Amino acid sequence: DFLNALEEVHPAFGVSEEELEQVMQNGIYDFDTAVDEFLRRGKLLVEQVRSSERTPLVSVLLYGSPGSGKTALAAFIAKESKFPFIKLISPDNMVGFMESQKVQAITKVFTDSYKSPLSVVVVDNIERLIGVDGLDYTPVNDRFSNSVLQTLLVLFARRPPKGRRLLIIATSSLLSTLKKLGLGEVFDSEQLVPSITTIGAFNHILRKVKLFANNSQLEDALQRLAGLGFRTGDTDDLDFATDEAFPTPEIGVKKLLSVIEMARQEPENVTKRLVDGVEAVARKRVRDKNALRYADA
Ligand X SMILES: Nc1ncnc2c1ncn2[C@@H]1O[C@H](COP(=O)(O)OP(=O)(O)OP(=O)(O)O)[C@@H](O)[C@H]1O
Nearest to 89 by CA among 191, 171, 208, 180: 171
The helix/strand/coil state of 108 is: helix
Under the criterion CB under 6 A, does residue 24 sit at the interface with ligand X?
yes
Contact of residue 28 among Mg ion, its own copies, ligand X, none (CB under 5-8 Å per partner type): ligand X
Write the CB contacts of 148 (distance below 8 Å, at least 6 apart in sequence): 99, 102, 103, 106, 129, 130, 131
- Nearer residue to ligand X within complex by CB, 22 or 290: 22
Q: Which of 9, 24, 209, 295 binds its own copies (CB under 8 A)?
A: 209
Q: What part of residues 238-297 is at the interface with ligand X (CB under 6 A)?
A: 252-254, 257
Contact of residue 24 among ligand X, Mg ion, its own copies, none (CB under 5-8 Å per partner type): ligand X
- Nearer residue to its own copies within complex by CB, 43 or 231: 43
Distance CA 101, CA 83 (A): 27
Under the criterion CB under 8 A, does residue 267 sit at the interface with its own copies?
no
- Nearer residue to its own copies within complex by CB, 8 or 53: 53
Alpha-carbon 76 to chain mean position: 10
- Nearer residue to its own copies within complex by CB, 14 or 91: 91
Distance CA 267, CA 211 (A): 9
Asked if residues 76 and 24 have their Cβ atoms less than 8 Å apart, the reply is: yes
Distance CA 10, CA 193 (A): 28
Tell me the torsion sign for CA atoms 105, 108, 109, 110.
positive
Distance CA 248, CA 164 (A): 43
Q: What part of residues 104-123 is at the interface with its own copies (CB under 8 A)?
A: 104, 107
Q: Where does this chain bind its own copies (CB under 8 A)?
A: 22, 26, 44-45, 47-48, 51-52, 54-55, 58, 66-67, 91-92, 94-96, 98, 100, 103-104, 107, 128, 131-136, 138-144, 146-147, 149-151, 153-155, 158-159, 162, 173, 179-186, 188-189, 209, 257-258, 260-262, 264-266, 284
Binding residues for Mg ion (CB under 5 A): 71
Q: Which residues bind ligand X (CB under 6 A)?
A: 24-29, 31, 35, 66-73, 125, 157, 173, 252-254, 257
